[in-house]
Chains A and B, each alone.
Chain A
Amino acid sequence: MVGGVDKPRTIHPLFVRVTHWVNAFAIFVMVLSGWRIYNASPLFDFEFPKDFTLGGWLAGALAWHFAAMWLLALNGLAYLAYGLVSGHFRKSFLPISLRGAFDDVLLAMRGLLDHAPGRYNAVQRLFYIGVILAVIVAVLSGLAIWKPVQLQALTAVMGGFETARRVHFFAMAAIVAFLLVHIGLAVSVKGILTPMFTGRAEAPR
């Protein structure tokens, strides 16, 4: 019944698809409103172009940021719980191997990397685990700068308020760097975007 020649099989479970797209929206709002918040007091010698920010002004950006954080956190917790309990993480992400990722990068550059629907290659595994960790760090450093008194132990772990701000920034930067590759591949590699909506691998040709 699964993996038949005629019947496309489910490669992305419904739970993963729903949390993926909810997360995509939450990350979109968090990053763009976060850029506007950053602009109010830039940490580095640049600002984000205003047209690529959300909220219009600082209060609007903060309102978006502190509303979408609930979506990001609750959806993220649901995803992590599902991934751990259902075995999704174990089946899809393990084993991870730096050597394997390196080999896969070489294969991809020579155009020889085979894309097996429903099976992540070594680079994907490393990237997905990496971006999950980056989001966790972003959430924790965000809490640390939101509540440096009430959650002062967490703020201390993050190196204090000023360091936590920078941790938050670089967690965002890591997520955005991932997204550039992730979205670039999702729209350029044939036949991998639709299954993220339907769950079904396209029929083998």
Chain B
Amino acid sequence: MKPRRSERLSAFRPQIARLERRLFLKQGLSLGALSLLSGCTLKDDDAVDRLLMTMSRFNDKIQAALFDPAKLAPTYSEADVTTPFPFNAYYEEKDVPLIDGERYRLQLSGLIADKRPWSLDELRALPQSSQITRLVCVEGWSAIGQWRGVAFRHFLERVGADLTARYVGFKCADKYYSSIDMPSALHPQTLLALDFTDAKYGYPLRLRLPTKLGFKNPKFIGEIFVTNDYPGGYWEDKGYNWFSGS
């Protein structure tokens, strides 16, 4: 079902610019709520910010503990696929990066033994699998889509990634970036997707994992790295919960 009147995250860009440096709650209490709360000490935004961020980190740990590496997301039939699939990014649809597939090379860095770049043909030569799963957006809407590509676990093993490292990070051609925990990266439904409905959804390469919210599925991936240092992410650094598991 196509979400009606769903807000694009990009609509918040002016606010983000303003709030970026002081986290997200500096102006978090709207006037109405503040007047209802008068008398409480909630004017001390920094303390509230800190408390909420502490809770968000606590929720990361809870979600990691709740994550079952063997539990599969429900799958659907082709008839269930949402058409058209909603486009969502921090920019408008007309601003998607256009990438030349012939010249494209996936870069690898960090705790990976074989950092040789990969062409699309080489990625396509690896075993492919496909899935029809539900993508849940942090905004609340959801849509069922179909993705096909390389099992991410297979790829990470193939390039000799340190599978005991904590994070896998992604740098994208649209200046987006994100990171996920290694157990989620190794989940059987986590896919390095090469085929999807339309180029605007991340050509030539995107991550698809039904075990996390939509914004944890970076598109237009240019580089993958493995690290033990928390890499954050575009939305995560602005205050969205990092783990964001489903």
- Chain A residues with CB under 8 Å of chain B are 28, 32, 37-43, 45, 49-60, 62-64, 66-67, 70, 145, 147-150, 152, 161-162, 165
- Do the beta carbons of A63 and B25 come within 8 Å of each other? yes
Question: What's the Cα separation between A189 and B119 when bound, in Å?
Answer: 75
Residue interface mask B196-210, A partner, CB < 8 A = 1:
000000000000001
Task: Report the bound CA distance from A161 to B245 in whole Å.
Answer: 14
Further pairs besides A56-B27, A148-B73: 7, Cβ < 8 Å: A39-B7, A42-B6, A55-B25, A67-B56, A150-B211, A152-B71, A152-B73
Interface SS of B by simple majority: loop
B27 to chain A, nearest CB (A): 5
Chain B interface bracket (under 10, 10 to 19, 20 to 34, 35 or more): 35 or more
Do the beta carbons of B5 and A32 come within 8 Å of each other?
no
A45-B3 Cα distance, complex, nearest whole Å: 12
> Across chains A and B, which 6 residue pairs bring their CB atoms closest together, nearest first?
A51-B32, A67-B55, A59-B239, A56-B28, A41-B140, A60-B28
B140, A165: Cβ atoms closer than 8 Å: yes
Residue of B nearest to A54 (CB): B33
Q: Mark B52-65, 1 if CB is under 8 A from A, else 0.
A: 11011001000000
* 9 residue pairs from A and B, CB less than 8 Å apart: A55-B28, A62-B138, A63-B25, A63-B56, A63-B239, A148-B134, A149-B245, A150-B68, A152-B71
Closest to B16 in A: A57
Asked whether B136 is an interface residue with its Cβ less than 8 Å from the other chain, the reply is yes
Nearest-CB residue, chain B, relative to A25? B40
Contact B33–A67 (Cβ < 8 Å) = no
The tally of CB-CB contacts under 8 A between chains A and B is: 127
Q: Which residues of B contact A (CB under 8 A)?
A: 1, 3-7, 9, 12, 15-16, 19, 24-25, 27-33, 36, 51-53, 55-56, 59, 66-68, 71-74, 134, 136-142, 210-211, 235, 238-241, 245-246
Partner of A60 from the list B59, B235, B239 (CB cut-off 8 Å) is B239
List, in ascending order, chain A residues with CB within 8 A of B53's CB.
Answer: 63
Please name the residue on chain A nearest to B40 by beta carbon: A25
CA distance A4 to B66 in the complex (A): 53
Q: Is the CB of A52 within 8 A of B139?
A: no
